[in-house]
Amino acid sequence: VESGARLEDVRGACAALESSTRLSPSCCEALAASDGAIAALLKLARACNRSRPHVDLLTLMLRTLANVSERSPKLACCVADTEPCVDVLLDLVQVFRDRPVPFGIATGLLTTLAAADVGARNACCSPAATKRLASVAALLKLRDHHAQGAALAAFRRTLATA
């Protein structure tokens, strides 16, 4: 992800994945059934930093995962069962709390996964995750990030009612 030429190649591939999963249910199923594709996206997401090109790439990856997860609960479970999905998403919520687009997609994806998969819901409700989310909520309130705070509050309400 560090080299400029490679970054453009990866961005092109992620853009193709995002559009194909947005438009085609069969592409979502193929991606979920593939060996290691979701894990590779998560690994790549973890390698992204806060620079603009990386945030753009991260947004494409998160949209791809959201497209797959929103197709059906079964596909959401495939995404959620990929280690370390929930941890990566919680990291992204924490790191990108001041960036509305990746924050919103990651929070929405966590909500979808927690609604579809008991393991994801339990991971999001763990004491460590609860502490991290409370910390993010406090920072958002302190810094007056209303949109992100509302998204995080909605996610936490989902967890409370599940």
Q: How do residues 22-74 score in pLDDT, each as one tens digit?
A: 999 999 999 999 989 999 999 999 999 999 999 999 999 999 999 999 999 99
pLDDT score of 2 more than 80: no
Q: How do residues 112-149 score in pLDDT, each as one tens digit?
A: 999 999 999 999 999 999 899 888 888 877 776 666 76
pLDDT score of 153 more than 90: no
114 and 124 Cβ atoms separated by less than 8 Å = yes
- Token pair belonging to 136: 């993010």
CA distance 126 to 13: 34
pTM of the model: 0.87
pLDDT score of 77 more than 80: yes
Confidence of residue 1 (pLDDT cuts 50, 70, 90): very low
